[in-house]
Structure 1
Amino acid sequence: MKRSKRSTVWDHFNRKGEDEVTCKICCAVLKYSSSTSTMQYHLRSKHPQASSDEGQQTLPAMLSGRRCDARRSEEITQRICSMVVKDTLPISVVYGEGFQELLGYIEPNYEIPSRCTITRRIEARFEERKKSLKSQLESTKCVALTTDCWTALTTESYITITCHYIDEDWQVNSAVLLTQSMPSRHTAENLAAKLIDAVETWGLNGKVSACVHDNARNIVAANSPERVNWESVPCFAHTLQLAVNDGFNVFVHRVIVAAGRLVRHFNHSTPACKALEDKQSQMKLPKHQLIQSCKTRWNSVCDMFGRLLEQRWAVTAVLSDRTVTRLQDARTLEIRDEHWQIMEEIAPVLETLKCATTIMSSEKNVSISNIYPITFSLLNTHLMRAEDDGHRVTEFKAKVRQSLSGRMQVVIIRLLLLSLLLLSLFCINWGVICSSQVDKDDLVAKPALIASVLDPRHKHLPFFAQTEKEAAKAKLIEMCAAMEMANAEDETAVSATQAGDKDRSQSNAMIMLLGDDYSAPRQATDYPEEVDIYMRDNPPSLDINPLDWWKANERRFPKLATLARRYLCIPGTSVPSERVFSAAGLTVNRLRSRLTPNHVDMLLFLNKN
């Protein structure tokens, strides 16, 4: 049986269900019931050029009959702005011949706006988004900051500040507040002034709990109590990297230099790179490129060692091939067997340290509460000497362990916690420990340790002795007492309002008889009891999100929940600020050397928010 010829009208329509079709030209939806007459009528009336010679018409010819009204023109312009922001493209892309040809093909009747028009639209979008973010932050009671400085290709110096907070639904939120030019010297005074100005601009006075930064002296001094009224939190990932670098300085740096020289040769030599690919195919190895380490990028040494160990025999084969590598070069580039052995032995230790950095660099999950658990795990387990460790690995572990212990000051934290406990023993009850008795610089008051206690997974502090756990508990009670005194007036006003609301709700008989908290779990009568109940509860498993736990238990521990919002929102690292640099590298490039600092701020703000 001969098939009927398919109508050419289907070149302009798509099926949408069993009884509808959609026009490819104008997106109109038509009814369809086995006959194409409706579609042919639509083409004749709406797209005459398409119906006159369907087989030969081009898309521009088809679209030329469609009117690009003001509304559609505005939508296209807004999407061009979104493309520039999301893909970090130069605004001058609208002048590109390829871009104009593309839009001319897709929308012949659209008039492409000028660069100045796109700039004005982006500025308006920035002001609108900034206003929206400011409104969100107004309803937030507590935020944390991260900050870092960087230099663009134009040698312009910038400072980036991000903020992080936990919303009412117990979700972690983050935003880039600003990326501003920093032409003045990066002294502690200038950096502190920039931070304070940003806090005031965004209406965050009194809401900042802490600022996370690297270990540079100027930014550490800028966040000291003498200059700002929030806590200073050193970036844990940077602290860990400094400790690892101290371990590298023992003997591993020689291996790093030799490995870096070898990788650099393959990355800059086309014949060597092609020969490596051939050897990988012959030896059935993964076709991976070698990785070059970078001083400013964390864990790159671990990645370089791992890739070299994976491709060791392919690399050795290329160096042994005299048609590719000269004998003199081979002698310079070859890695000694001793160095290969060091890389192989030290790789598992570096992988563990890399894992710690990866966990701490998360923006969407609670991270600061993991600092002390991870630190003590590294010191007491992963950096301890194993039976099969060689003397080189043992020496490396010992050096990193010593450096990390000193930088985290975990040696004296036990003494400070014990001293806090002794102070509390002379008080009538736990609640009368006043802030004058405890130095604000004591490590027991550091946000990372407080966050560990407020994280239900770590609240029992298994890495501490019992006396130290009691001291941490005393600190929680002290903070609850201080918070209650500070909020006494506000709580009185709220209680009065709630009492009035309760009087108005007496029309409900069940609420009148049983009370509106009938189904609520039992709450503590005062903050010492609240802390005691919280500490006696069994901790959840490590795979539980602590914010989900607090969402479910907020009514049981209202005071501690307030503290949890304040401290668990603090990132454990300054990675959020540094991640802006990757987008900044695409924004401030050689094609955009005339981009003003104000427009850099706008583009990065819109890209990240």
Structure 2
Amino acid sequence: MNPNRTEEGTEKLDQKLFRESVALEIIEHGPPFSYAEYEGSRRSNRILNPNVEFFSRNTLKAEVLKVHNKLKEDLKNTLHKLSSRICLTSDMWTSCQNRGYLSLTAHYVDENWKLCSKVLNFCHVPPPDRANNLCGTIHGLLRDWGIEKKIFTITLDNARNMDNMQELLRSKLVQQDGLLSRGAYFHIRCSAHILNLIVQDGLKVLGDALEKARESVKWNSTYLMLERFLLYVNAFKILPTEDPTFLMEDLPTEEELHKIEYICNFLKPFYDITTLFLGVDYPTANLYFENVCKVRSNLLKEIESPDSCLREVAKAMKEKFDKYWNEHCVVLAFAVILDPRFKLKFVKFYLKKFDDNFENKAKSILDKLKALFKEYESASSSSGGNCDIQGGGKELDQSLIEFQSYESDDSTSSNKSQLELYLEEPRVLITMPYDVLAYWKDNYARYPELATMARDIMTIPITTVASESTFSMGGRVVNQWRSSLTCKNAEALITTRNWLHGYTTKDDRSKATHVSISSLSQQASNVVD
């Protein structure tokens, strides 16, 4: 008799595997825990195998938490073994239950030099969401994960409480000797928020024309809304004859249409740049400097435009831009220097366009980069120069360590550092797209400490899109039909789904717009959808 069959000839069912399968179904597709008690579901399963043993919603909750805890331990071990620094993004979200949730996401490069993004926590933060409360919460989460001494940067929006929080958190981490350069490069402002603020100031010039177009084309993205409006403007002109509720005075005038056409063309570069910045599966830090400089170049050009409307828009936007340009992150200039297509000459090229003192500013950036590199050299010396990145997570044997040390000594016999040697090499051919992490992986043997620093800098996310994508998941899990879902179970469902499937599943990928882009409409609604 086949041991895998019952006396009735039915295949035996692994009940443990069945419970886990249902738990994974709940995590991936989001039905409620009561799904375990649906009579229709039970009837279908009974047809497939009469020996199935059904279980309650409470058992299903426990099974989901078991999966969550197992994957959390796996991720914790991965983060513990990382030789790279970890960059964070964080933001706050209010659910339909009027509860405040904090999203904390880790960004790092794994042993195969691939950029990874994992939602660590999606936890309820009771009011008030003041800086000290948020700081205490995030610091506690970092300690729980055991990564409080591995942090490099945190990317946040421009909310005042988040600004104050990062100051308190930086102070705590510096006291624990957990940040490089005493946290000088810890705080990164979300570039999508900044672009949004810049564009908002410019669009005030449009006045009623913008609102008329928006009433005709309901769209979160101002650029896409104007693009669609202009495409169908002739149809809108005859719409009042077909639809009495649509009045002629609701349409922009010819003068207003002229403004809309100019502004639509003007906003396209902002839309393209913001979309580029929203990537989560490729480095974006090295894209920042070039594209922010392009924005400023466009504004300076349009200030001289013969069109008075465009001049007015560009002037308003430049005033806002200059405020943030003066605060731009030096560490993101480091990223373009460590992109072998560009290096320091690229920084000088763009600074020269805007500043007569560009040589001194470029020198200041380079001096700060050299100071940061010395910290990486010191860290390597104190650890004996044994870094396991190139070994794919395995320690190098002694002969390879000695060879690596010999090669490093030989290449620096002229008393030049790895950074200086790298900068003296010819730039590589400019190509788009370009895998900058692959370059540093291939050149790790020649420049071990420099590659280590470059890897960490390229990990920095320049937007909070990861948090916004998490909030999209949160909105599907914590909704009006699941208002009694506990915060603990909500966090388990959202984080585990991310660990298993990233920010999308097959269901999500069938949609026309990627979740990370569509969810950002709240923070950059004037630029992208």
TM-score interval w.r.t. the shorter chain?
0.7 to 0.9
Cα pair 2:440 2:455 within 8 Å, conserved = no
**Aligned-residue offset at 1:372:** 1.7
User: Structure 2 matches for 1:174-193, cutoff 5 A?
Assistant: 174-193=117-136
Q: Could you report, residue by residue, the CA deviation over 1:388-425 in whole angstroms, capped at 9, with x for unpaired residues?
A: 75211222122222212211316xx7xxxxxxxxxxxx
Tell me which moved more, 342-351 or 206-215: 342-351
Distance 1:389 1:98 in 2: 69
**Aligned-residue offset at 1:588:** 0.3
Residue among 63, 67, 82 paired with 1:121: 63
Distance 2:304 2:132 in 1: 51
**Aligned-residue offset at 1:153:** 0.6
SS in 1 for 2:302: coil
Larger CA Rg, structure 1 vs 2: 1
**Aligned-residue offset at 1:105:** 4.2
Cα pair 1:476 1:531 within 8 Å, conserved = no
Partner of 1:254: 208
Could you say if the C-alpha distance between residues 521 and 173 of structure 1 is closer, same or farther in structure 2, counting changes exceeding 3 Å? farther
- The answer on 1:235 being equivalent to 2:190 is yes
Residue among 215, 219, 223 paired with 1:292: 219
Distance 1:244 1:499 in 2: 51
Partner of 1:405: 322
Partner of 1:601: 491
Partner of 1:580: 470
Distance 1:527 1:356 in 2: 41
- The answer on 1:171 being equivalent to 2:114 is yes
Cα pair 2:92 2:101 within 8 Å, conserved = yes
- The answer on 1:361 being equivalent to 2:274 is no
Could you say if the C-alpha distance between residues 493 and 235 of structure 1 is closer, same or farther in structure 2, counting changes exceeding 3 Å? closer
Could you say if the C-alpha distance between residues 137 and 380 of structure 1 is closer, same or farther in structure 2, counting changes exceeding 3 Å? same
Distance 1:528 1:474 in 2: 15
Cα pair 1:146 1:577 within 8 Å, conserved = yes
Distance 1:144 1:75 in 2: 36
Gapped runs of 5+ residues in structure 1? 1-27, 29-45, 48-62, 264-290, 294-299, 414-442, 506-510
Cα pair 1:64 1:109 within 8 Å, conserved = no
Cα pair 2:277 2:462 within 8 Å, conserved = yes
- The answer on 1:319 being equivalent to 2:212 is no
Distance 1:556 1:261 in 2: 59
Partner of 1:92: 34
Distance 1:151 1:243 in 2: 26
Cα pair 1:147 1:577 within 8 Å, conserved = yes
Could you say if the C-alpha distance between residues 111 and 499 of structure 1 is closer, same or farther in structure 2, counting changes exceeding 3 Å? closer
SS in 2 for 1:477: helix
Distance 1:90 1:262 in 2: 38
Distance 2:373 2:305 in 1: 49
Cα pair 1:88 1:583 within 8 Å, conserved = no
Give the TM-score normalised by structure 1: 0.70
Cα pair 1:305 1:347 within 8 Å, conserved = yes
Cα pair 1:162 1:174 within 8 Å, conserved = yes
Partner of 2:333: 449
Partner of 1:559: 449
Question: RCO higher in 1 or 2 (8 Å CA, sep ≥ 6)?
Answer: 2
Residue among 407, 422, 427 paired with 1:534: 422
**Aligned-residue offset at 1:246:** 1.2
SS in 2 for 1:481: helix
Distance 1:386 1:221 in 2: 35
Could you say if the C-alpha distance between residues 93 and 110 of structure 1 is closer, same or farther in structure 2, counting changes exceeding 3 Å? same
Cα pair 1:88 1:587 within 8 Å, conserved = yes
**Aligned-residue offset at 1:346:** 1.1
**Aligned-residue offset at 1:573:** 0.7
Distance 1:66 1:118 in 2: 29
**Aligned-residue offset at 1:472:** 2.8
Give the TM-score normalised by structure 2: 0.81
Cα pair 1:523 1:557 within 8 Å, conserved = no
Distance 2:456 2:415 in 1: 17
- The answer on 1:391 being equivalent to 2:308 is yes
**Aligned-residue offset at 1:147:** 0.1
Cα pair 1:148 1:574 within 8 Å, conserved = yes
Could you say if the C-alpha distance between residues 102 and 448 of structure 1 is closer, same or farther in structure 2, counting changes exceeding 3 Å? same
Amino acid at match of 2:142: V
Over the residues paired in the alignment, what is the CA RMSD in angstroms? 3.1
Distance 1:86 1:205 in 2: 30
Distance 2:210 2:473 in 1: 29
**Aligned-residue offset at 1:155:** 0.6
SS in 2 for 1:186: coil
SS in 2 for 1:491: coil
Could you say if the C-alpha distance between residues 200 and 594 of structure 1 is closer, same or farther in structure 2, counting changes exceeding 3 Å? same
**Aligned-residue offset at 1:557:** 1.5
Q: Could you report, residue by residue, the CA deviation over 1:28-84 in whole angstroms, capped at 9, with x for unpaired residues?
A: 9xxxxxxxxxxxxxxxxx99xxxxxxxxxxxxxxx996524242x433332221111
Cα pair 2:336 2:343 within 8 Å, conserved = yes
Overall identity of the aligned pairs, in %:
22
Cα pair 1:473 1:531 within 8 Å, conserved = no
Residue among 257, 269, 287 paired with 1:352: 269
Distance 2:21 2:78 in 1: 25
- The answer on 1:343 being equivalent to 2:260 is yes
Could you say if the C-alpha distance between residues 526 and 500 of structure 1 is closer, same or farther in structure 2, counting changes exceeding 3 Å? farther
Partner of 2:525: none
Could you say if the C-alpha distance between residues 502 and 553 of structure 1 is closer, same or farther in structure 2, counting changes exceeding 3 Å? closer
